[in-house]
C-alpha cells in the first residue's frame, strides 16, 4: 500500500527552493526539482540540513560518476543476475527493484563494483518514477534458496547508506519474500542499522495472498 507522505513545512520548502535556485542559476547541474527538495526536507528535517545534504549529494554524483554508470556495459553485464529493475510496477505505481539473494556470494564479489551496480539500479528505478503520482520505490528481496553464504552485511550497509544519504525518502516499501526461519538472526543485526522510519518500511511477506497486497506475483522474474 502507498505510504502517506509526511507533509513538509511550506515556508521551509520555499526557503530551500530559493537557496537552490540561486545555486542552480550559476550551475544548472545543481538543480533539483520540487519533489526532490521535499524528499530532502522530509529526511533531513531542517532547511540548512537539507541544503547541505543536497550539495553533498551533487558533489558525490559528480565524483562517483553517477551520470555515466549506464554506459558501463561491462559492469551491468557482470552483475545483471544480482538485481533487476522490473518493467512492471507495484500496485501503487512504484518502480520495482528485484533482488534474488540466492545469486549473491559474499566471497565472490568486488564491493566497489557491486556498489556501483546498486547505484545504477537505484538511478534506473528512480528515473522510472511518475513523481506526480508516487516518487518512491519498491525493493523486493527474494530469499528463496537463500543460505548464509549469500549474506553480505557490507553490501547491505552500503545500500542503507546510499538510501539515507543520496536517495533520501526514495524507499517506499521493502518486501522480504520467501524468508527462511534462520534469517531472523540476520534481520536482528540489520534492523539495528535502520532508523525507525526506514525499519517501518520493511515488510516480511509470508504468503502469495499477502504479496498481492503490494504487487502481482506473476511479474517477478523466473529467469534469475
Q: What is the mean pLDDT of residues 115-130?
A: 97
> Do 183 and 148 belong to one domain?
yes
> Do 86 and 169 belong to one domain?
yes
Q: Is the pLDDT of residue 1 over 60?
A: no
> Do 55 and 91 belong to one domain?
no
- What is the pLDDT at residue 108? 85
Residue 134 lies in a domain: yes
Q: How far apart are CA 82 and CA 20, in angstroms?
A: 36
Residue 198 lies in a domain: yes
- What is the pLDDT at residue 6? 76
Residue 223 lies in a domain: no
Tens of pLDDT along 43-78?
A: 999 999 999 999 999 999 999 999 999 999 999 999
Q: What is the mean pLDDT of residues 142-149?
A: 95
> Do 80 and 132 belong to one domain?
yes
Tens of pLDDT along 181-193?
A: 999 999 999 999 9
> Do 167 and 191 belong to one domain?
yes
Residue 56 lies in a domain: yes
> Do 95 and 166 belong to one domain?
yes
> Do 123 and 199 belong to one domain?
yes
Instruction: Give the residue numbers spanning the domain of 88.
Output: 74-217
Reported confidence tier of residue 153, pLDDT bands at 50, 70, 90: very high
Q: What is the mean pLDDT of residues 145-165?
A: 96
> Do 60 and 122 belong to one domain?
no
Amino acid at each position: 500500500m502507498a505510504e502517506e507522505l509526511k507533509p513538509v513545512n511550506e515556508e521551509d520548502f520555499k526557503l530551500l527552493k530559493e537557496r537552490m535556485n540561486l545555486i542552480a542559476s550559476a550551475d544548472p547541474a545543481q538543480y533539483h526539482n520540487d519533489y526532490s527538495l521535499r524528499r530532502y526536507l522530509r529526511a533531513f528535517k531542517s532547511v540548512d540540513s537539507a541544503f547541505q545534504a543536497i550539495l553533498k549529494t551533487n558533489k558525490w554524483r559528480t565524483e562517483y560518476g553517477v551520470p555515466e554508470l549506464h554506459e558501463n556495459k561491462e559492469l551491468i553485464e557482470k552483475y545483471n543476475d544480482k538485481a533487476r529493475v522490473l518493467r512492471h510496477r507495484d500496485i501503487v505505481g512504484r518502480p520495482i527493484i528485484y533482488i534474488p539473494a540466492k545469486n549473491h556470494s559474499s566471497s565472490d564479489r568486488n564491493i566497489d563494483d557491486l556498489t556501483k551496480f546498486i547505484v545504477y539500479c537505484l538511478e534506473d528505478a528512480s528515473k522510472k518514477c511518475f513523481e506526480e503520482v508516487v516518487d518512491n520505490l519498491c525493493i523486493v528481496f527474494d530469499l528463496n534458496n537463500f543460505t548464509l553464504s549469500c549474506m553480505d552485511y557490507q553490501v547491505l550497509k552500503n545500500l542503507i547508506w546510499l538510501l539515507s544519504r543520496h536517495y533520501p525518502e526514495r524507499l517506499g516499501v521493502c518486501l522480504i519474500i520467501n524468508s527462511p526461519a534462520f534469517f531472523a538472526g540476520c534481520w536482528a543485526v540489520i534492523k539495528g542499522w535502520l532508523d525507525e522510519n526506514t525499519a517501518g518500511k520493511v515488510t516480511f511477506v509470508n504468503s502469495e495472498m499477502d504479496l498481492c497486497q503490494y504487487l502481482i506475483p506473476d511479474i517477478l522474474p523466473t529467469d534469475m
